[in-house]
Each structure stands twice: as structure tokens, then as C-alpha cells.
Amino acid sequence: MSDRLILEETETMTLFREEERLVLDVSKPPVRLLDLLALLRRHGTSGPSTERLRELANVGGVENLEIGAGRDLAVPSLQIVDGGLEATLSLPPGFDDEEALRKLFAARGVVYGLDGEALARALERSRSGQAVRDVVVARGLEPRHGEDGWVEHLKRRPTGKPTMTESGEVDFYSLDLVVEVQRGEALAIRHEAKPPREGKTVTGQTLAGRSGRTPRLSYGRGAEMEGDRLVASVDGRLVWKGERLSVEPLLIVGGAVGPETGNIVYDGPVLVRGDVREGYSVTSGGDIDIQGGIERAVVRSGGSISVRFGIVGKGGALVEAEGDILARFVQEAEVRCSLLKVNEYVLRSKIHARRGVLVEGSRGVIMASQIEAAAHVNARSVRVMRWGDTAITVTGVSRLELFQRCQALGREIVEADDELLVLSSSIRTLTEKGFHLQARKHLAEFLAFEEAQEKRKEVLAGLKETLRNLRGDASFSVIDGVSGEISLRLKGVSCRVNDKARRVTLYYDPDEGQVRIAGGE
């Protein structure tokens, strides 16, 4: 017999036998007192006092009961417990009527999973003059629920997130931006749900197992299913919109942008396998991934820009993006973007960031540069080469408003997810009934709604990232300190940073209306 034998279980209470104890556990009060009394009567025990039962019914709790209190053992008893998965036998001392037992089993309908050895031991014990209580003599077969299917993604999604050191500090930022794929290349594999296995009660009734959920593999243009595999139907760039995969046309420049190519103008994403040479330009309506560097050139993007080997602008480079810019380093260039992430250094440059600037890599340093950001500037270190050559201005935002926008967007996303579930159910129902035209109309609505939902999630992710890097309404953080005197303004307030300070954050406190200092070594 198992350590714990469940005699009866509901959503609110459980009666079980554990060794020589009978235990009542009221886990989700309140319950009706009459239901408690009925449960105890069904199992031959009167339980504790009425006052204690009323307390259990109202506030819950666990109570040890006397086994067999009130149980009439003058005749054999066969009980079906644990939702029909077990049958327990109780016998009075000296019982020896096997025919009566067969009739009892037939009357109770116990036909499956009989344990002949347990039954023989129970009879032998009774014949020897001992009472037998709640011996398991039949066991059913529990249903096995089906396993949910899942989607195996074969391509890694670019994140721009940092790789951390063992001490938990930023080492460097991933600069991957464009994932190139070829026609016929596998993008994902759908692993189907595994079917359930039926169970059976001791009375022979079938117990259905829950079916596993079929995985949803969402995809758009430029991708198609081949069996269980999602493959690219065109050459291009793999795009993630939430969990939805698509492949969009990608302009690939096989080498450098220079005399051989001329200036590049393209409405979609661009991948440059070499440098952008001095005097040339790249203009794109989408993301730009430059696997080389940028010289004294102009690069403009309606999305984000990644520069694997940095920007050497020679005082004349202009790099602009509606989204973020990621670069190994920025030297003698003007950069305008939403969020700037630099692994190594910013030198003799002008930076304008609509959100913030991160130069926190293990070798990150800001030198002789003019930086303006709306929310925050976070650096590993700042070095002044000569007096007045470095200025950092954080114009400021309202952290409270950012937080409120996050909350509002979160609520919108939850509501939109519910709407997407309703639309998905409608499409499935219409398809099953053969109303394919109506289903296609709902599908178009679903796809548009899903795209809008992913934009909400992108905005929310950006807000959360800003809040993670921001303290107060405007902040400046430095890890390894400042060498020399910099011009620092936080939301219009001039500040001074001690050149010996390490791991310090200066932030504008809107409640106090002044700049405060946190940390410092």
C-alpha cells in the first residue's frame, strides 16, 4: 500500500489514509458543513466535534481522524476511491466467505485491475482473527495526457543584448542585425503533439486523457511549409514579428560601397559585406547591417544600423537611424539615433540620442565628445583630453509617464491577445464548417491585428529597456570613473563628478527637484 491513499478528493478538500492515520484536509475553504459530514459518513468515521468541523468548514485546516470510528465491520466493505482508480477492501475478523466476496465485487462493478495477491493476503489476515481495513485490492489505469507540440527555431534572433562578465557587468554588445537566408533553407521545425493514452477505472470505465496542444507556427511572406518544416521561399532577410516569421527582400552588397557600386539607395534592408568608403552613402528604408566599417561617409536608415568594425569618420561621417545604432566604436563622426550602443569607445564625436547612450563594454570609454541624450548616458569610463572637450547633456524625461505608458501598453497587449484568441477561434470554426471565404476575411483581419500587436510589444520592450537604464528623470552612470572635469547637465541642472568616484550614478530626482548621487566607491 502506498504511503498516502486518497479515499476521496474534491477541489476543496481531501480525505486520505497515511500509514495508520485517516486525515481530512480542507484546503480551499469555505465549504458546506453538510458536505463535510456526508464525506465522513461515506467513509465510516464521525470525525471531530461539530464545533471543530464548523471551524474546518469556515477557515480550513488539517485534522487527524480515527480510522474506522463508527465503521461497522460486521460485514465486508468494498469502496471505490481516488476517482475510480482504486478499490479498497475492509473485512471483519474471522471472515472466510469467498463466494460472498465475489458477489460484493460484482455488485460494486469492480472488474479491472484486480490484485489477487493483495486479496489473498487480506483474506488470510481476516481468517487469523484480525480486522482488515482499506487494503487496495484493485487498481485502475491512469490516463496519460498527450504532450504539447513545440516549435524548434533554427535561426537565432538578433537581440543587441550584452554579453555579461562573471561579475555581472557588460562585456560587449552583440552587433548582429540582419539574418540572411537562402531560398529553400529551413527556418523552423514544427514538432507535433503526442497523442494521449486512455485510462480505465476499476469498474471498467474509460478515462480520456487530455490531448496535447497543436503548436502554432506563424509565418508570412517569403516563407512556406514543407511538411513539418518552415522554409524560405525566397532569398532575403529573416524577420521576426513576435513569433511570426517572414522573409523580406534583402539588398546585398557583396563588398565595399565605393566606386564599383556607387551610392546605395534602397527601400528595404541592406547588408554590406565590406566598408562604406569615404565620399559614398547608403540610404535605406529598413535596417542596415555593415559587416565592415564606415569611413567619411553618410549612412541613413529608416530602421536600425549595425557597424561591426566601427565608424572612422575623419570629422565628416554622418550616421542617422530612426531606430538604434550599434557599433564597435565611434570616432570623429556625427551620430543621430534612438539608442546608441558602443562596445569600445566614442572619440571626438557628436552624439544625439532620442533615448539613451550605452558605452558600458569592458573597454568602453567616452573621450573628447559632445553627447546629448533624452533619458540616460551609461559609460564604463570618461576621459577628458583637454579642458572643455567633453560635454554630456541629458535633457530628461518623466519616469512616471514612462511607467504609466508601460502599464497602459501592457493592458492593451492583454486585451489584444484576448481579441486574437477570439479571431483565431472564429477562423478555425469557419474553416471546419467550410465557410472558407469568411475565414479568409477573418484571417486578413487577424494578420493586421497581429502586426499591430507586435508593434505594441516592440514599443513596450523599448520603454522597459529605457526604464532599466534610467534612474529618476535623467541619469548619468559611470563604472570606472571620470578622468578630468566634464561638463554635465541633468535636466537643466549643472553637475560635477569627482574624478575619483567609481560606480556612481547622478540622477535628477523629480520629487526633490535636484540632482542626487547614488553609489560611489
Same domain (yes/no): 36, 98: yes
Give domain status of residue 131, yes or no. yes
Cis? peptide before 30, omega within 30° of 0 = yes
**Joined grid coordinates for residue 43:** 467513509
Residue at which a domain ends, from 119, 139, 159: 139
Strand ranges inside 58-185, DSSP E = 61-65, 77-81, 86-91, 132-139, 150-153, 162-164, 170-173, 180-181
Q: Is residue 264 part of a domain?
A: no
Q: Given 139, 172, 203, which residue is the final one in a domain? A: 139
Question: Exposed/middle/buried for 67, CB within 10 Å: 0-12, 13-18, 19+?
Answer: middle
Same domain, 65 and 134: yes
Task: Mark whether 407 and 431 lie in a shared domain.
Answer: yes
Q: Is residue 283 part of a domain?
A: no
Contact 231, 167 (CB under 8 A): no
pLDDT at residue 386, rounded to an integer? 86
Same domain (yes/no): 121, 163: no
Could you tell me which residues are beta bridge partners of residue 358? 341, 378
Residue 244 and residue 163 share a domain: yes
Q: Are residues 158 and 223 in the same domain?
A: yes
Do 11 and 120 lie in one domain? The reply is: yes
Say yes or no: 52 and 17 in one domain: yes
For residue 75, is it within any domain?
yes
Verify that 76 and 124 share a domain, yes or no.
yes
User: Looking at 230, 248, 266, which one is the last position of a domain?
Assistant: 248
The answer to pTM > 0.85 is no
CA–CA gap between residue 456 and residue 459 (Å, rounded): 5
Full pLDDT tens readout for the chain, 521 residues: 446 777 778 889 988 877 667 888 999 999 988 888 888 877 767 668 878 888 888 988 998 886 654 445 567 888 888 888 999 998 988 888 888 889 989 988 999 999 999 999 999 989 998 888 888 999 999 999 999 999 999 998 876 665 656 666 555 556 677 888 999 999 999 999 999 999 999 999 999 988 888 888 888 889 999 999 999 999 888 988 877 899 989 999 999 999 999 999 999 899 999 999 999 999 999 999 999 999 999 999 999 999 999 999 999 999 999 999 999 999 999 999 999 999 999 999 999 999 999 998 888 999 999 999 999 999 999 998 888 889 999 999 999 999 999 999 999 999 998 888 888 888 888 887 888 888 888 888 888 888 888 889 989 999 999 999 999 999 999 998 888 888 899 999 998 887 777 889 999 999 999 999 998 66
Look at the chain and report how many structural domains it folds into.
Answer: 3
Output b/e per residue, 416-444; b: 16+ Cβ within 10 A: beeeeeebeebbeebeeeeeeeebeebbe
Q: Which domain holds residue 465?
A: 399-469
Q: Are 245 and 220 in contact (CB under 8 A)?
A: yes
pLDDT value at residue 276? 97
Q: Both 90 and 42 in a single domain? A: yes
Residue 288 lies in a domain: no
Is residue 225 assigned to a domain?
yes
Residues 115 and 187 in one domain: no
Dihedral sign from CA coordinates of 287, 290, 294, 298: negative
In a domain, 436, yes or no: yes
Tell me what pLDDT residue 367 has. Answer: 95
Half-sphere exposure of 122 (CA within 13 A, CB side): 24
Rounded to whole angstroms, what are the CA distances from 160 to 163, 250, 284, 307, 372?
9, 20, 20, 12, 21
What are the DSSP calls for 147-163, one per residue?
BPPEEEE-SPPP--PEE
Residue 340 within a domain: no
Q: What would the grid cell of residue 248 be?
A: 523580406
Do 42 and 166 share a structural domain? no
Q: For position 97, what pLDDT does the model report?
A: 87
